């Protein structure tokens, strides 16, 4: 291949997608491509798609247009979840040349015989049953943190979710490979690793659908905690039924794991949780939150919640609202339910009008802001460690404490990717927290 060819990437969706884009980008580099920003002119544009929300579907078309505006002759490839679920639909989008499904995306450079524009999108998409092998990946997007993929796919059958259709069965990386990747990341001076996957608490299931658990998630975090050079480890998102007391205890005593959990709830009503085919009731969720707070009172707990699921009456929505209001959590990620093809929920009765879904979503986002503010207020006058990020945002540098409080200070390039002991002092007008440096740790 011509070594002067340029490639650009655009990633929609989750941290897992970001880690996979990063790995795929490295494969282009080894083929002699130069990576450029998506806004720049490139010979090939790769768009890693998501199908979790309706919005991601719509955004795809505008991103293709964006690429074509910069270089009308560029080769455009679509990969990722949406590409697996609806390959023909993506191939029909004007300007798309290649669509690769779940197993093919990691071999994308094999499909680029020449970069001539096609009259119509060429599709290479497997049956999802064939997505049974594991490809490890990690992202190094900025210098501060990396997303390390440890698991892929899901065996759960939640009635609203297309991820098992898009990513296949649950399978994991080997322990030795995860530890090798972690060491590689740490050798590049990155201070924080975020563990990611589709259902990471299910870690340990082997490749090719072999259900034997070689190792558990607890084994994984125990070993990762011993890797030298990693300052911080963060668990991205873990199902409440898979978050065991032993894992919580390990995090509370850990050298590197930070006191921050993101635990999907989806609904505060047992009626809806049953309809969703979630694997727990709300009582278990209360138990998990209580356990975390018992051993780590200042831990940050984030919650995923879906509003407007079929059958969610006003009473049921208020049950969820009140449940979350009383729970000792720190913030919410609110998702407005959207019908997805080939899911059980799409055929359910009791459809909630979209304007009602939007109103409920707004209410919960308001509750989230209130929760975050209350959590930040509790952290004032405490001493924390901040990892500073690399971007100059309107004259300020931002950073996160170990328990995920977002702080700000006047821009200072010497702080980038460094850890500092601070005392949190006040909440600024924009909701971020100001601080004082402790001791003489301020760089000269």
**Number of C-beta neighbours around residue 129 at 10 A:** 9
Greatest Cα pair distance in the chain: 65
DSSP-assigned states of every residue in 66-82: HHHHH-TT-EEEEEEHH
Cα angle 63-158-212, degrees, rounded to a multiple of 5: 105
79-96 pLDDT, tens per residue?
988 888 888 888 888 899
Q: Using 50, 70 and 90 to split pLDDT, how confident is the model at 279? A: very high
- Closest of 409, 411, 412, 403 to residue 382, by C-alpha: 403
Mean pLDDT of the chain: 89
Residue 1: the pLDDT is 45
Residue 444: the pLDDT is 41
Q: In whole angstroms, what separates CA 136 from the centre of its chain? A: 16
145-202 pLDDT, tens per residue?
898 999 988 999 999 998 888 888 898 999 999 999 999 999 988 999 999 998 999 9
Helix (H), strand (E) at residue 11: strand 6-11
Task: Tell me the HSE value of 82 on the side-chain side, using a 13 A CA sphere.
Answer: 26
Please report, for residues 46, 69, 130, 403, 410, the alpha-carbon distance to residue 234 in angstroms, rounded to integers and kept in the order given: 28, 39, 31, 10, 26
Residue 116 token pair: 């001539």
Q: Please check the confidence at residue 34 and state whether its pLDDT lies above 80.
A: yes
- The pTM of the full predicted model, rounded to 2 decimals, is 0.83
Q: Which residues contact 212 (CB under 8 A, 6 or more apart)?
A: 205, 206
């Amino acid at each position: 291949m011509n070594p002067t060819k340029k490639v650009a990437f655009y990633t929609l969706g989750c941290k897992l997608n970001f880690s996979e884009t990063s790995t795929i980008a490295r494969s282009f580099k080894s083929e002699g491509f130069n990576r450029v920003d998506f806004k720049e002119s490139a010979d090939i544009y790769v768009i890693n798609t998501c199908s979790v929300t309706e919005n991601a579907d719509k955004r795809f078309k505008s991103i293709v247009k964006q690429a074509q505006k910069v270089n009308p002759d560029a080769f455009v490839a679509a990969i990722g979840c949406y590409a697996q679920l609806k390959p023909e639909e993506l191939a029909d989008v004007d300007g798309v040349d290649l669509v690769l499904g779940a197993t093919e995306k990691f071999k994308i450079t094999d499909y680029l015989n020449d970069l001539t524009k096609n009259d119509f999108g060429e599709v290479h998409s497997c049956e999802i049953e064939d997505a049974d092998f594991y490809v490890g990946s990690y992202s190094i997007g900025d210098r501060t943190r990396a997303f390390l993929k440890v698991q892929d796919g899901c065996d759960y059958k939640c009635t609203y979710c297309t991820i098992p259709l898009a990513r296949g069965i649950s399978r994991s990386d080997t322990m030795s490979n995860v530890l090798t990747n972690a060491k590689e990341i740490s050798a590049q001076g990155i201070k924080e690793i975020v563990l990611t996957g589709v259902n990471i608490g299910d870690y340990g299931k082997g490749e090719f659908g072999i259900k034997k658990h070689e190792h558990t998630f607890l084994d994984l975090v125990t070993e990762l905690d011993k890797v030298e050079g990693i300052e911080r480890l963060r668990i991205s998102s873990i199902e409440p039924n898979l978050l065991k007391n032993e894992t919580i205890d390990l995090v509370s005593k850990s050298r590197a794991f930070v006191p921050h959990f993101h635990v999907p709830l989806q609904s505060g009503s047992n009626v809806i949780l049953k309809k969703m085919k979630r694997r727990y009731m709300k009582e278990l969720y209360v138990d998990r939150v209580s356990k975390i707070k018992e051993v780590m009172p200042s831990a940050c707990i984030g919650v995923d919640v879906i509003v407007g699921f079929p059958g969610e009456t006003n009473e049921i929505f208020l049950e969820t609202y009140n449940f979350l209001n009383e729970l000792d959590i720190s913030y919410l990620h609110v998702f407005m339910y959207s019908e997805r093809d080939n899911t059980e929920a799409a055929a359910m009765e009791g459809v909630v009008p979209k304007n009602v879904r939007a109103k409920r979503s707004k209410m919960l986002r308001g509750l989230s802001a209130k929760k975050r503010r209350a959590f930040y207020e509790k952290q004032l006058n405490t001493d924390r460690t901040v990892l500073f990020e690399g971007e100059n945002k309107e004259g300020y540098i931002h950073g996160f404490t170990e328990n995920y409080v977002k702080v700000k200070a006047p821009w200072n390039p010497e702080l980038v990717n460094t850890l500092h002991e601070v005392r949190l002092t006040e909440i600024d007008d924009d909701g971020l927290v100001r601080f004082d440096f402790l001791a003489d740790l301020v760089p000269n």
